[in-house]
A and B are shown apart, each in its own frame.
Chain A
């Protein structure tokens, strides 16, 4: 297996463990685990967007009352079941987002024609960002973009072919490390499903 695709496969194997998780404590632990994985691989973690998602999805679920009535605000009932259901769904979405962040940190290479097209796109993206630094003046913006496109269009595809190198194969350590992550995420799923973890609802 290519070294660049190890994290990708680890993520694909682990996705169902998050999607199928029914236990709230289980999904909290899985979310924390993938956030740590993502952050230690160099991705950013922002608190506010995640809090907004958690709050908005949980609030939206309150519109359908379910389970123990906690309190009422006017005619609006806040129920424990709806709140926890919304929180579980929001946490699953956050966990999947950070698992996705982690999966792309290995810079995965897609196979076949589509993979070649994506790498061509990224070749041009690199060329555009590099050439943009040399474009002056950058105002008016439309004329700067026009100049940029002229410059990049002249770049030959031969440059790309020369810059491509054969991908390295994954080491046994890489495979073992990713295997541990798969085991942890599936272990948390099993612990939730078999009621090893406490059940809140």
Chain B
């Protein structure tokens, strides 16, 4: 009995460490993205969302939620925006996209590729952020920024989805962990 609960505890610790590793990868990728020159100001590929996409095949519901939460808090701490209005945008965007992507992966994986999941996540995130900008920043004028914002989000999410597809098919690290998750 004790040995059983000990091994369960150890397994939980290992899983939590794995989530922390993915969250750290999100932080690292956001700094990598910062170094990439942007063709349009404020245009981001959203590389930091890659761990959220690859995590779909590796994590359970709670772990996935924890990853989203750690990504928000970690980025907020690194950029110093954790106690500002920006964290609301980060929270709204990340949680809504994580929720939609998780649902799509869980119930529609057969019909939707990671590119489709990435697009759905980006649209959920952008729509939530537009609603927040309407309430917090611009009022009704937010409708003027909606078309370019959604178009840029659509284009960059395709790039990110393709990148995630390639990572999942080529990474031996991912294959190893996906197999462990499958066996568990």
A, B assembled together: yes
Q: Within 8 Å of chain A (Cβ to Cβ): is B137?
A: yes
A100 near B139: Cβ-Cβ < 8 Å = no
Which single member of A57, A60, A100, A150 contacts B83 (CB below 8 Å)? A100
B171 near A146: Cβ-Cβ < 8 Å = yes
Which single member of A12, A108, A129 contacts B28 (CB below 8 Å)? A129
Min C-beta distance of A138 to chain B, whole Å: 10
Q: A100-B83, A104-B82 are in contact. Are A121 and B141 (CB under 8 A)?
A: no
Q: Among residues 130 to 146 in chain B, which have CB atoms less than 8 Å away from a CB atom of chain A?
A: 136-142
Chain B interface size range? 35 or more
Q: Among residues 1 to 58 in chain A, which have CB atoms less than 8 Å away from a CB atom of chain B?
A: 11-12, 15, 38, 43, 56-57
B167 near A142: Cβ-Cβ < 8 Å = yes
Which single member of B20, B81, B167 contacts A120 (CB below 8 Å)? B20
Q: Within 8 Å of chain A (Cβ to Cβ): is B95?
A: no
A125 near B74: Cβ-Cβ < 8 Å = yes
Q: Within 8 Å of chain A (Cβ to Cβ): is B114?
A: no
- Residues on the B chain within 8 Å of A201, using CB: none
Q: In this complex, what residue of A is CB-closest to B85?
A: A93
Q: In this complex, what residue of B is CB-closest to A125?
A: B24
Q: Within 8 Å of chain B (Cβ to Cβ): is A171?
A: no
Give per-residue flags for B80-101: 1 if the beta carbon is below 8 A from chain A beta carbons, else 0: 1111111100000000000000
Q: Among residues 23 to 51 in chain B, which have CB atoms less than 8 Å away from a CB atom of chain A?
A: 23-25, 27-28, 31
- Residues on the A chain within 8 Å of B24, using CB: 121-125, 127-128, 152
Min C-beta distance of B85 to chain A, whole Å: 5
B20 near A100: Cβ-Cβ < 8 Å = no
- Residues on the A chain within 8 Å of B142, using CB: 60
Q: A15-B83, A99-B83, A103-B83 are in contact. Are A121 and B27 (CB under 8 A)?
A: yes
Min C-beta distance of B14 to chain A, whole Å: 9
A146 near B172: Cβ-Cβ < 8 Å = yes
A97 near B173: Cβ-Cβ < 8 Å = no
B66 near A118: Cβ-Cβ < 8 Å = no
Q: A100-B84, A142-B166, A143-B170 are in contact. Are A120 and B74 (CB under 8 A)?
A: no
**Between-chain CB contacts (< 8 Å), 22 pairs:** A57-B137, A60-B142, A64-B139, A93-B137, A96-B83, A97-B85, A103-B82, A104-B77, A104-B83, A108-B77, A118-B73, A118-B74, A120-B16, A120-B17, A121-B20, A122-B74, A123-B20, A125-B24, A125-B27, A145-B167, A146-B167, A149-B173
Extra A-B contacts (15), CB below 8 Å, given A100-B86, A117-B70, A129-B28: A60-B139, A64-B139, A64-B140, A99-B84, A101-B81, A103-B80, A104-B82, A118-B73, A121-B20, A124-B21, A127-B24, A132-B28, A143-B170, A145-B167, A149-B21
Identify the 3 closest CB pairs spanning chains A and B, nearest first. A124-B24, A60-B141, A101-B80
